[in-house]
Amino acid sequence: MSILSAIFLGLVQAATEFLPVSSTAHLLVFGELMGQSLDEPHFRAFVAVIQSGTALAVVLYFRHDLWRILRGSLLALGKGTPLATPEARLGWLIVLGTIPAAVLGKLFEHRIEALGNWVIAASLVFLGVVLLIAERLARHVRAVESVGVKDAVLVGLAQALALVPGSSRSGTTLTMGMLLGFTREAAARFSFLLSVPIILGAGAYKLWKELPMLRGRPDWQLATAVATLVSFAAGYLVIGWLLGWLRTRKTYLFIAWRLVAAVSIAVLIAVGVLPAS
């Protein structure tokens, strides 16, 4: 892989990991167009590693929130009152919301990896329509501070649904948050906070599983390092841009984006550029 291609795919990962449009779908399509495939071990390892760049971007962007939540949770736990403060309560709700994706991801890992490109296209369309319904019907009034047990469980289940390729983790959690009455920005902010344990855990697992593929391949190692740095830096900027966008604008741009991506994948499958499975 050339350095230019690595930079481009790092930018694709940064944008599509946080926008509700599915990073898997975009990396798949652009990778195939560049002659790469997730069936190829080196490219699969490349994708796994560059995702750690965007994971670190989330941690850095929300470092102050995460520190307050972690500190508040530990202090409250040490006093024997684990739910005594809003920060402690939010910390335990994040843990609760992480469980569905962690359990289901481990149970169905191999089945999920076997899902084909038609599933990706269908997921893009179906959940784009659900996002449209949420946009039109939701009340958009609740703040992050009002998150409760039911909210954490339902958004956690939505995060588990994102294990299906093409669904988009940010897309499913944002949609569920809006359906529960949160403002667009509050739904996105809780989505990001909820993502930290799962993306760090999944990222570490993928690194352990896929990183050995890059040993002895300095060309792939350099491309992967460049793409990871790009995904980290660009991802940090995308988070801020998305929160600002959702503060004053609706999600119609991302709904249209999902539909265009789905049609593009379907066309590429039909003409034989992408495999159907």
Q: What is the pLDDT of residue 114?
A: 60
Contact 183, 135 (CB under 8 A): no
Residues 113-134, mean pLDDT to the nearest whole number: 87
Tokens 């190692």 locate to 221
Per-residue H/E/C for 163-175: CCCCCCHHHHHHH
**pLDDT value for 57:** 94
The pLDDT of residue 156 is 93
Look at residue 151 in the predicted model and tell me its pLDDT.
94
User: From residue 85, how far is each of 73, 153, 190, 191, 220 by CA, in Å?
Assistant: 8, 20, 17, 21, 47
pTM: 0.89
- The residue-averaged pLDDT of 120-127 equals 92
pLDDT at 166: 86
pLDDT greater at residue 33 or residue 56 = 56
CA angle 155, 157, 158 (to 5 degrees): 60
Ramachandran angles phi, psi of 215, nearest 5°: -65, 135
Distance separating alpha carbons of residues 242 and 90, to the nearest angstrom: 22
Q: What value does the mean pLDDT take over residues 249-268?
A: 92
